[in-house]
Amino acid sequence: AGSLMTTKHSQTQSMLEKSSASTSTNTPYFKAAEPTETPPYVTKCPSNGLCSRLPPDCMTCNTNFSCVYGKPATFDCRVKPYVHCVDQNNSEQENFTINMTCQFCWQLPTTDYECSNSTNCMTVSCPRQRYNATCTVRDHIHCLGNRVFPKMLYCNWTGGYKWSTALALSVTLGGFGADRFYLGQWREGLGKLFSFGGLGIWTLIDVLLIGVGYVGPADGSLYI
């Protein structure tokens, strides 16, 4: 009987300890209110401007399934939170329509988007080399699909060499290889220098080749 009472007493004490422990850990927790941050797109959205002229990042538009490629189309749009714009009467509005041509962003004219440039490809080559570019649509242009897209473009970078300077050097000092030295072609320049322009024949050929743009800078860039 004594051992039974001791066992019951120890069980009761352990239950009380568990109860007090659970009570201490279940104290109410009040989460602090998180500060409201302004979305990053708001910096691109002019305040109190015309809604129809907002950049695409400032609005959300419904897809017009009756849109015919190449034809004008109307889209129902709504400004995003924290964006304020007005209509033609200077009245604030949230819902509006925009008119644009029905086409995907990658189908836009080249003047409507900007692409990354590459200085690792040769512009003077046959066939002319291409490179993988990342293009971004300009802010004021509206189109369908992704506004950032990849595209294969021809190499079109320049190293700052002037065609007029190269031609002038070829005509005046071509016999000493000045034109080839200017274009960064040191081996050909030394060859012309020590052969006196190939006794004049090489000089005349270079004048013709540089004049038509066949001979360009050694780095593969275009003339400016």
Q: Average pLDDT, stretch 121-141?
A: 82
Higher pLDDT, 19 or 4: 19
Q: Average pLDDT, stretch 123-147?
A: 84
For residues 151 and 186, give the distance between their C-alpha atoms in angstroms, rounded to a whole number.
Answer: 35
Q: Average pLDDT, stretch 105-116?
A: 92
Q: Which amino acid is at 47?
A: S
pLDDT of residue 209: 92
For residues 190 and 218, give the distance between their C-alpha atoms in angstroms, rounded to a whole number.
Answer: 15
Q: Are 183 and 194 in contact (CB under 8 A)?
A: no
Q: At what angle do helices 201-211 and 163-173 cross, to 10 degrees?
A: 160
159-208 residue pLDDT tens: 788 899 999 999 999 999 999 999 999 999 999 999 988 888 999 999 99
Instruction: Supply the DSSP string of 29-46, one letter for each residue.
Output: --PPPPPPPPPGGGGGS-
pLDDT of residue 36: 62
Say what percent of the chain tops pLDDT 70: 83
pLDDT of residue 127: 72
Residue 115 has phi, psi (to 5 degrees) of: -125, 155
Q: Average pLDDT, stretch 36-60?
A: 85
Q: Which pTM was predicted? A: 0.56
| Widest distance between CA atoms in the chain | 128
Q: Domain residue spans in the chain?
A: 42-102, 113-154, 163-212
- The first and second tokens of residue 31, run together, are 């989460």
